[in-house]
Structure 1
Amino acid sequence: MSDAIADAKRALRAELRERRQLLTPHQREAAEQGIGEQLDALVDRLGATSMSCFLSTTTEPGTRAFVAAAVDRGIRVLLPVTRSDGLLDWSVATRDLDIAEGMFGLPEPVGELIGPIAVNDVDLLVIPAAAVDRHGMRLGWGRGYFDKTIGSMDRCPPVYAVVFDSEVLDEVPSDVHDQSVTGVVTPTQTLDLAPARR
């Protein structure tokens, strides 16, 4: 990655982090409700019975209520658990989910881990992002876990990134290792941006 791209990514991430910190509790609550409604509709549209999702931090658009509701609906939800080798393990979400701080201070499930290839069996990937552009390019938070996961899948299902409405941008800085997403879910809309992967 060139220094210019790395610098542009760093600057944009810092700006987005700062914007997220300024959201009020009411805005966060409304965003979580909207994300839940959008993800419910997406799951129904795609007919997904097994999917991956993530446990949101306090500054991310909330996904936790959706995960709990999806489990109640009988959807198998895999949650990511970071590993020191740059790969993700997965844990199946349950209604009485125990959550602990993971390797990078992120919320992660506590329980039985299934290996990195478990995600090959899902119908839908729902992943975090800092921003997504209108061509489907995703800007992550810089650790590369989801880019590696998506890039290593033989038959990747649709991949949707979750961001706030203001984080759907005209363009984000990217390099050859960055993976595009099929679409983006915000609190008010779901946008299909790139062809579904095969």
Structure 2
Amino acid sequence: MRAPLNHDMSGKAPLRRELLAARRLLTSQDVENAAAVLSSAALVLPELDGARTVAAYVSVGREPGTRPLLDALRERSVRVLLPVLMADNDLDWAAYEGSAHLLPAGRGLLEPDGPRLGPTAVLDADVVLLPGLAVDRRGMRLGRGGGSYDRVLARLSAAGAHPALVVLLYDDEVVAQVPEEPHDHPVDAVVTPAGARRFTT
């Protein structure tokens, strides 16, 4: 598959390729086992423990699994919002009502079948779970490069909303440093199968 013709001046593209290649080596059992451990590690974070509304996402492929965590949050009567990708790559949101209410969407994603709540629904979240490929010791996150979550973070910032930002990763995806651009936001915590780690900003 040819790489997209973008001009990556930040040096992020080679690191993304390396991390995605490592994920492709994981078996389905590896992913499933890690997802259960990730859920347990995330649920003990005080931010999640006290959250009323969590903006999350449905993991796909070899991403660190979120399904057990989504269901555990629902069992705690937490309101879980899931993203709905719009045509311009921005994100709308809808409530998670269980795996039976997830539908296949574009790019291999799964999206909730309920009413769309609008892009500003994320402003109600106490915690935002961000997908990513890596995080460094400063809390800087490397995303996939689509820009959807950059828009979400900019929307939160513009509204003066400060939910806890948490990224779920595999253990070896916590790295010394990721390339940084001016619009990048640090996260507050990372959860891996080995446990949770907080960053001070």
Q: CA deviation at 1:95?
A: 2.7
**Separation of aligned partners in 1, 2:7 and 2:26:** 33
2:181 is the alignment partner of 1:175: yes
Match of 1:132 among 132, 135, 145: 135
Match 2:15 to one of 12, 16, 32: 12
Code of the residue aligned with 1:194 in structure 2: it is T
Partner of residue 152, structure 1 = 155
Contact 2:97 2:112 in 1 (8 A): no
Structure 1 residues 116 and 30 mapped into 2: Cα distance closer, same or farther (>3 Å)? same
Contact 2:37-2:193 within 8 A present in 1 as well: yes
Which residue identity lines up with residue 193 of structure 1 in the other structure? F
The alpha-carbon deviation at position 136 of structure 1 amounts to 0.8
Distance 2:92 2:47 in 1: 26
CA separation of 1:46 and 1:66: change in aligned 2, threshold 3 A:
closer
1:106 Cα deviation from its structure 2 partner: 1.8
TM-score (normalizing by structure 1)? 0.90
- Give the AA of the match of 1:173: P
Q: CA deviation at 1:42?
A: 1.6
Q: Which runs of 5 or more residues in structure 2 are unaligned? A: 1-5
Q: Tell me how far 1:86 sits from its aligned partner.
A: 3.0
Is residue 2:37 matched to residue 1:31?
no
Partner of 1:83: 86
- State the superposition RMSD in angstroms: 1.8
Secondary structure, counterpart of 1:104 in structure 2? helix
Structure 1: unaligned runs, 5 residues or longer: none
Counterpart of 2:3?
A: none
Could you give the per-residue CA deviations for residues 17-63 of structure 1, whole angstroms, max 9, x where no partner exists? 11011112332122101111012112566511111111001201110
Identity of aligned residues (%): 36
State the 1:96 CA deviation.
5.0
Q: 2:185 & 2:62 partners in 1: Cα distance?
A: 23
Q: Does residue 193 in structure 1 map to residue 199 in structure 2? A: yes
The whole-number CA distance in structure 2 between the counterparts of 1:82 and 1:2 is: 24
Structure 1 segments, 4+ long, off by >3 Å, are: 1-4, 43-46
